[in-house]
């Protein structure tokens, strides 16, 4: 599984257009591989994308693409206020 994450928005729209991360989950050590698979499971991402959003400007929006072993990609657009803190930490670690 390949996970790609890009971010846009943020304070005054000046976010981190430079934020683009790509990770091959299969190349990771077992503990992190398991954590990534659970956190970025497409069903979980779909649930998060459908969760209520807080009001307010200057929020980052993450575009998360998950590509499975059959080369099927799913794309999710999720604002930072929809992501749990543990997932934001995991994104920072990637």
- To 5 degrees, how large is the angle CA 42–CA 34–CA 82? 45
Q: For the chain, what percent of residues have pLDDT higher than 70?
A: 87
Tens digits of residue pLDDT in 45-79: 999 999 987 776 668 899 999 999 899 999 999 99
Note whether 38 and 31 are within 8 A (CB): no
Please give the model's pTM, rounded to 2 decimal places.
0.85
């Amino acid at each position: 599984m390949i996970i790609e994450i890009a971010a846009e928005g943020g304070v005054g729209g000046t976010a981190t257009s430079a934020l683009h991360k790509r990770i091959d989950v299969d190349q990771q050590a077992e503990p992190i591989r398991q954590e990534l698979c659970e956190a970025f499971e497409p069903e979980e991402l779909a649930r998060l994308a459908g969760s209520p959003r807080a009001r307010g400007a200057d929020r980052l929006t993450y575009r998360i693409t998950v590509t499975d072993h059959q080369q099927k990609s799913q794309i999710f657009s999720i604002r930072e206020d929809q992501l749990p803190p543990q997932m934001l930490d995991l994104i920072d670690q990637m």
